[in-house]
Chain A
Amino acid sequence: MTTARLARAGRALLPRVLAIALLTGAWQLLVVIGVQSPTGVPLPGPGDAVGAMADLTRQGLLLPALLNTITRAATGYALALVIGTIIGAAVARVPLLRSAVGSLLAGLQALPSVVWVPIAALFLVAGGHDENAMYFVVVMGAFPSIAMGVMSSYDNIPPLTFRLARSLGAKGPQLYRHFIFSALLPGYVAGMKQAWAFSWRSLMAAELIIGSLAGAGLGTLLDNGRALLDLPEMFAAVLTILIVGIAVDDVIFSPVERALLRRRGLLAA
């Protein structure tokens, strides 16, 4: 039983390991053929990047930066979740609001949230609220996905579900608890997953451009590397950003989403 499960996990992991090996190999190849920047700085290889990660960790720079960034991301994401859920629910249920802001939401979702960075920098950072500036950018990046997730999954509830609820006499809180919430869940989680990708992206842009007095983040690390022409440090920062982004999706969102879909028979076994 356990060996079978291990074997299954191994089979699932194997393609990923292969893909990573392939990419690392391609990267190493670029280094071997001597790719360098126009100013003559050689491209660091995967080994250099991992070495730089180790150095940064030893110097006590990487972990605090990681912690700062993750705290910011989590706070901003939580805010976006609350705001997006409220707005999504309101837009889904109130026809007037829907015609007023429904298409605006879709537009906001497509808008790259980097565009908010200069504005946030001007209004909030200049006022001494640099953390707030980052939250603002993250929220603007993430909340439309959440709101759209709520709205579109509400629209996709089959009419039969509402007819059943009515024929069973479910109204108000019962209607929500036993029918609407559960019916919304897969679409909501899909929205949350997308919102995470957007908030992580937005936060990196904000950290890179705004920086922070309250504490360096991964974006700041990347910017420092650029300022010092320390390419291995830059690559170390990029790798860390990539790994966190993937890990959060892999550990939190994807398993929840898959479990939900599998339970409803919406996923090929």
Chain B
Amino acid sequence: MNLALRARPRLLVAEEADEVAVRLAGVTKVYGKGRGSVTALDDVSLDVGKGEFVCILGASGCGKSTLLSLIAGLDRATAGRIDTPVAHPAVMFQEPGLLPWLTVRRNVELPLRLRHSADGERRVIVNRLLAMVKLIDFADSRPHELSGGMRQRAALARALAQDSQLLLMDEPFAALDAITRDSLHDDLTRIWGDCGNTIIFVTHNVREAVRLADRVVLMTSRPGRVGRIWDVDIPRPRTLDSADVAALATEITATLRLEVSSDDR
């Protein structure tokens, strides 16, 4: 697979790169060496199309965060190839990772400051994002003064401020109440529809995955591999409690349950 990829004519690869936002080919990641080593990912191959919204499900510890950090280029794969035309994917880490010395506004502004965007433009963008995540009233607070869910929302605003064509999100809504989560689902879907970016979204919530994704990827654990993939053909706008979403979620949950319990053996 690896060899076959490299052997292709250049032109074709370039043409394909137009449609593929992320290509994983035989990606393996081993932490540590020798007896104590952990194979987090084993021979993972997956193509994510440009503009696609992919949700990744899988038991805790199956390698989802590892996969995202490899795609983000923050870590190196032990074997295999990762191709993405996007230089700096926006990452929303599993922990909020806000800088404790900056106010919420400053944290959200950071990607724009690093890009030297003009003051006026920056204010407009940041105010819009802060309003979206409902943190306008906390713009001048410091991260330690926020609740866990507020920190996640601030981190979401920062990731969106980066305005990257590829957005990697690691359980971004895990700490939110159902209502806030639902409204952020709407916002995220709208932003995704407007700018046509590619989103890879890790979650433990099957309904959330079905509500958001074009495709749901279920990972198996120990070692982490791509298990099953579902195409979600439910027309948008979707809601969390629509019958179609619930039906597919039930099917996926059943498979996930098998997967997780076989992992306990």
Name A residues whose Cβ lies closer than 8 Å to a Cβ of B: 160-161, 163-164, 166-170, 174, 178-179, 182-183, 185, 263-266
Residues of A within 8 A of B110 (CB): 168, 178
**Of B10-18, B87-95, B129-137, B203-211, the one with at least 4 CB within 8 A of chain A:** B87-95
Contact present for A264 and B144 (CB under 8 Å): yes
Q: Specify which of A167, A170, A183, A266 is in contact with B72 (CB 8 Å cutoff).
A: A167
- Is B196 interfacial (CB-CB < 8 Å)? no
Q: How far is the CB of B147 from chain A (nearest CB, A)?
A: 13
Residues of B21-80 contacting chain A, CB below 8 A: 69, 72-74
**Of B97-105, B118-126, B238-246, B247-255, the one with at least 4 CB within 8 A of chain A:** B97-105
Q: Specify which of B97, B114, B142 is in contact with A263 (CB 8 Å cutoff).
A: B142
Contact present for A168 and B93 (CB under 8 Å): no
Q: How far is the CB of A186 from chain B (nearest CB, A)?
A: 9
Q: Specify which of B91, B97, B113 is in contact with A178 (CB 8 Å cutoff).
A: B113
Contact present for B114 and A163 (CB under 8 Å): no
Contact present for A169 and B97 (CB under 8 Å): no
- Is B233 interfacial (CB-CB < 8 Å)? no
Residues of A within 8 A of B142 (CB): 263-265
Residues of B within 8 A of A167 (CB): 72-74, 88-91
Q: Specify which of B73, B95, B101, B162 is in contact with A264 (CB 8 Å cutoff).
A: B101
Residues of B within 8 A of A160 (CB): 93, 95, 97
**Secondary structure at chain B's binding surface: helix, strand, loop or mixed?**
loop
Residues of B within 8 A of A266 (CB): 100
Closest to A179 in B: B99
Cα separation A174 to B111 with both chains bound (whole Å): 11
Residues of A within 8 A of B114 (CB): 168-170, 174, 178
Contact present for A182 and B99 (CB under 8 Å): yes
- Is B263 interfacial (CB-CB < 8 Å)? no
Closest to B98 in A: A164
Residues of B within 8 A of A265 (CB): 100, 142-145
Q: How far is the CB of B88 from chain A (nearest CB, A)?
A: 4
Cα separation A178 to B106 with both chains bound (whole Å): 11
Residues of B within 8 A of A178 (CB): 110, 113-114
Contact present for B88 and A168 (CB under 8 Å): yes
Return 11 A-B CB contacts under 8 Å, by A number. A160-B97, A163-B93, A164-B97, A168-B88, A168-B110, A168-B111, A168-B162, A183-B101, A185-B101, A263-B142, A264-B144
Cα separation A166 to B89 with both chains bound (whole Å): 10
Q: How far is the CB of A180 from chain B (nearest CB, A)?
A: 11
Number of residue pairs spanning A and B whose beta carbons lie under 8 angstroms apart: 55
Cα separation A266 to B73 with both chains bound (whole Å): 32
Name B residues whose Cβ lies closer than 8 Å to a Cβ of A: 69, 72-74, 87-91, 93, 95, 97, 99-102, 110-111, 113-114, 142-145, 162
Closest to B103 in A: A263
Residues of B within 8 A of A166 (CB): 73-74
Residues of A within 8 A of B88 (CB): 167-169
Inter-chain pairs besides A161-B97, A265-B100, A265-B144, 8 sampled, C-beta below 8 Å: A160-B95, A160-B97, A163-B97, A164-B97, A168-B114, A170-B114, A178-B110, A265-B142
Residues of A within 8 A of B91 (CB): 163-164, 167
Residues of B within 8 A of A161 (CB): 97, 99
Cα separation A185 to B99 with both chains bound (whole Å): 13
Residues of A within 8 A of B97 (CB): 160-161, 163-164
Q: Which 6 A-B pairs have the closest CB atoms?
A: A265-B144, A264-B100, A169-B88, A167-B91, A182-B101, A160-B97
Q: How far is the CB of A114 from chain B (nearest CB, A)?
A: 38
Cα separation A178 to B109 with both chains bound (whole Å): 12
Residues of B within 8 A of A185 (CB): 101
Cα separation A182 to B103 with both chains bound (whole Å): 13
* Residue of A160, A167, A178 ringed by the most chain B CB atoms within 10 A: A167
Residues of A within 8 A of B69 (CB): 163
Closest to B113 in A: A178
Residues of A within 8 A of B72 (CB): 167
* Residue of B90, B91, B101 ringed by the most chain A CB atoms within 10 A: B101
Residues of A within 8 A of B93 (CB): 160, 163-164
Contact present for B101 and A263 (CB under 8 Å): yes
Cα separation A181 to B68 with both chains bound (whole Å): 28
Residues of A within 8 A of B162 (CB): 168
Contact present for A169 and B87 (CB under 8 Å): yes
Q: How far is the CB of B114 from chain A (nearest CB, A)?
A: 5
Closest to A162 in B: B74
Closest to B102 in A: A182
Cα separation A168 to B142 with both chains bound (whole Å): 20
Residues of A within 8 A of B99 (CB): 161, 164, 179, 182-183
Contact present for B143 and A163 (CB under 8 Å): no
Cα separation A267 to B85 with both chains bound (whole Å): 44
Cα separation A263 to B73 with both chains bound (whole Å): 32
Residues of A within 8 A of B144 (CB): 264-265
